Every structure is written in structure tokens, then in C-alpha cells.
Amino acid sequence: MQDAYLILRGRQYYLKLAIPRPIRHLFPSGTGKPRDYIVEALGPDRTPAGLERDHRVALYRTLFARAALMTPEAIKDELAAIKRQIERRKLPLPPLQRELERLEADPAFREESAAEFLRVFRERLRSAPFPEKEEVTSMAINAALVAGLKQKTPAGGETINQAAEAWFTEMRRPDAGIRPQTLDGHRLRVRAFVEHAGDIPLATVTRKMAADFLTHISAGRSGRTTNNYATTMMSLFKYARDRGLIPEGAPNPFEDQRRKVVGEEREAFNSAEVQKLFAALPIEVAPKKHSPETALPWAVRIAAYSGMRLEEIAQLTVPDIQRRGTNGGTVVVFDIHNGDNEHHIKNGSSARAVPIHSALVRAGLLNYAQALPQDGLLFPGLKRRASKGGKIGARLGELFRKRLIAIGLKREGLCFHSLRHTLAERLEAAAVSQTDAARVLGHAIEGMSYGTYSSGPGLIRLAAVVEEIRYDD
């Protein structure tokens, strides 16, 4: 980061981080006016100040990314939490080090397990002669624990990262059937735990530590997302127990830690809202430069008229738009499939052929596709993001959320996936059978091993079903 966001005034270094202009009103100063910058003292020494600068920039940028969807009270609470975390980092570490050295010199220490050491350390910490000892968090204790056990980890006492790497290797086996995106998601969630608690031995992780981590993760995230973190960590500990790294019968600290998901049901758009979206997102049939911004208007319309998931749309290639012959002529379809590096679908029933609605044809979709290289992406301005588990549609989801806010449509339960629910409601209102609706949406059809029409009269009928989708009422 070099000298970015770091300024020197007199003999003191300061953090100076610009608050993004659209959210400055959410960060008022003491007089109530919007703040332009976060300015905080970092100390007189350049190297420690730079390290502290990096830490705080990461904290504030994470908050900035979520602020537009948070209430002023929630932002105030988050700023207070950041301040508390900063204060904890100021706690004097030498007494911790001295306490560790004293424990290491104790002959009884060599016989203690990692978990027992943590318990003993907590007990002795309560009487440690340094200020604010009550504020020492589990993160600080865990960091000290790693230092104390670095040379004393007992056989089988693998750390979180060590166990995770073995787990990831297992999932990378060709016969494991794990998608790269799924593996990347697990990797990101394990990394988040290590960043929060440290790369500590498995045996030292308690239920309280697991609960504290999930509470930390839940800030600004949905219950479903938080539960993904709980599921990943619970699976890691189950894998470790199966390998004998945790005593058989020992409790899994993440078991039963999933949060109740309340009030997160996806809402559907009404026809007026869909029309407002279309008006706010004009399409370009021949954009001068392809970008996520030029892809979003098409992605919204495709979702509204096909029910495709965001990632299914984002990874479409030009060859995925196909003309298929039937007994009654031809049908132009989106071919949604799995099986190569560019196509990853949710499950087997998601593979399907969805006839392209005439509204998309009238909007110029086929002309748009014809102008592209015939072996490339339908939206070449999109890039896969490692930070989002390799997903290619993540940026579209972010832009869509911002556009909802900008035009006054954002509310709880309304997101890009709501377009899929909207289409399902349209089909239900048109009295379309559940079986045909499932073929459009890529849902499993009970009692059928293959539910996708690929050609023939069934595809003609499905095209008529798709044409029932209307937003002009």
C-alpha cells in the first residue's frame, strides 16, 4: 500500500481515508455534516503506523461496501465495534509474552493439552498485572496460544489451515464431484475464520469461539450467508474427526450453530416495478465497449423473461443461443448446461433448454449476439472473481442492488433473484402447469429422471408457455 492513506503532521502519522461520495451522508461529523475522510492518529513511528494503517483501511473499506444497505444506527454500531477492535490492538503485549514464557518454563505445561493450556492461560490472565485485562479478546488469546504452542503441538494437533488443506485436497479429487466454485467458497470461509481467530489448533476451538465468529460474520450479511460459514466450518471439523484429528465423540463446535433465517423470503416484483426497471436500464444492441454496466440491462430482461439464475445468465456464451428444429419449425433457445470450464450449474435438474421470449428478440438480443465473436461469452465484459468463489455474475448482482437503491425500489427481500420469483408468479397467474413451469425454471420434476425438452412438440409447447410471461398489465 506504500504511503497511500498515510500522512505525516508534525511528528505524528495519521490515517486519511476518503469516504466514497455516495455514502458520506451516512458518516456525519460531530456537527452533523457529512464527513469526507476518516482521519485517525497512528503514532510517531513509520513502520508500525503503516501496519496499523493497512489494518484500519481493511476494516473501513469492508464497512463502506455494506453501508448503503445499513441503517444509520447499524453503521454507528459498526464504527463503535471498529473502535473497540482498534483499542484492543493497543493493549500492551509484553506482559502477555512474559506470561507465556512463565508458563513455558513450568514443567507441568509440557503435559497439558492445547485445550487445557488455553483454559490455564485464561485463568492466569485474570490476575495478570496489566491494565484493561478484561478487554483481551479471544482473538488476542488465540494469537498468544499459537505462539506458545508453536513448538509444542502434540501429535495429531493440526491447525485449522493444516486440516483445511487436507480437506481441500480431498475435494479436488476428480471422483469427488466438487465444483471449483464450491471449493473456492469453502476456502474463503475457512480463511475468514483464520483471520478472525488465528490459525489455531483444531482441539482448541470452543463453541463460544464458533458462536463469536458467526456473530462477527453476520454483520451486514444475510442469515443464509452466515449459515454457509457455519456449514463450511462444521464440515471441516467433521472431516477432521473422521481422520482422527479430534477425539471420537468430541463435540463439533459448529454443530447446531446455524442461525434461524427469519424474514428473508425473496419477494417478487410487480409489473409496474419491472417496467420501471426496464426504463432505468436501457439496452445497447451494439455497445462500443462491453462492461458489466452494458451487460446488466440484458441480464435483467433475460431473467425477467426466462427465470434463469444470475450465474446461469452471466456465463452464457454465444453458442448457447441455439436454433433447434422441431416438427413444427424452429425454436430459438438458451441452452443451459454443465460440463466445461465456463459452465457450472446448480444441480442436474438445472440443465435445460429455455425458449427465448419474443420480447427479447424484439429488443435485439439475436442481433446483439450476432455481432459478437461466435465462440466467446455473450457478455464479454464480465470477469470471474476469485474473491467471490470464481463466480462471473457477482458484479452484476452488486450493480443491480445499487440500481434498485437509486430508483427507489430497494426493500427487504428484493434482489436479482427476485426476478426468478417474479417469473414463477407470472407462470402461476397464467395457469401454467407445475411440470412446465419446472421445465422453464430448472426445478426437479418428481417421478421423472429427465425433465428437459430438447426438441420436438414438447419444445414447441414450452415456447408457448414462455410467451405467457407478460409485464404489460
Q: Tell me, what CATH number does 373's domain have?
A: 1.10.443.10
User: 264, 291, 324 — which closes off a domain?
Assistant: 264
pLDDT band for position 344 (50/70/90)? Answer: low
Say what the pTM is.
0.51
* Higher-scoring residue by pLDDT: 184, 454: 184
Mean pLDDT of 52-70: 86
Can you give the pLDDT at residue 101? 53
Report the alpha-carbon distance of residue 341 to residue 167 in Å, rounded: 22
State the chain's mean pLDDT as an integer: 78
User: Is residue 25 situated within a structural domain?
Assistant: yes
User: Is residue 103 situated within a structural domain?
Assistant: no
**What is the total residue count of the chain?**
473
Same domain, 30 and 173: no
Mean pLDDT of 381-392: 81
User: 246, 264, 282 — which closes off a domain?
Assistant: 264
* Higher-scoring residue by pLDDT: 175, 283: 283
Other beta carbons within 10 Å of 72 = 12
Same domain, 302 and 252: no
Residue written as cell 474427526? 241
Domain around 413? 271-466
Percent of the chain at pLDDT > 70 equals: 76
pLDDT band for position 328 (50/70/90)? Answer: low
Provide the grid cell at 460.
Answer: 414447441
User: 48, 67, 89 — which closes off a domain?
Assistant: 89
The residues facing 8 across adjacent strands are 13
Same domain, 315 and 418: yes
Mean pLDDT of 441-450: 60
Same domain, 350 and 418: yes
Question: 13 pLDDT exceeds 90?
Answer: no
Same domain, 252 and 298: no
User: Is residue 110 situated within a structural domain?
Assistant: no
pLDDT 10s digits, 306-323? 989 999 999 999 999 998
Decide: residue 67, CB within 10 A, 0-12 exposed, 13-18 middle, 19+ buried.
Answer: buried
Tell me how many domains the chain contains. 3
Nearest CA-CA partner of 74 in 39, 27, 38: 27
DSSP string, 124-143: HHTT-SSTTGGG--HHHHHH
The residues facing 9 across adjacent strands are 12
Report the alpha-carbon distance of residue 117 to residue 153 in Å, rounded: 11
Same domain, 257 and 276: no
Same domain, 193 and 301: no
Provide the edge-to-edge strand list for the sheet that holds 352-355.
Answer: 321-326, 329-336, 352-355
Nearest CA-CA partner of 219 in 265, 259, 161, 160: 259
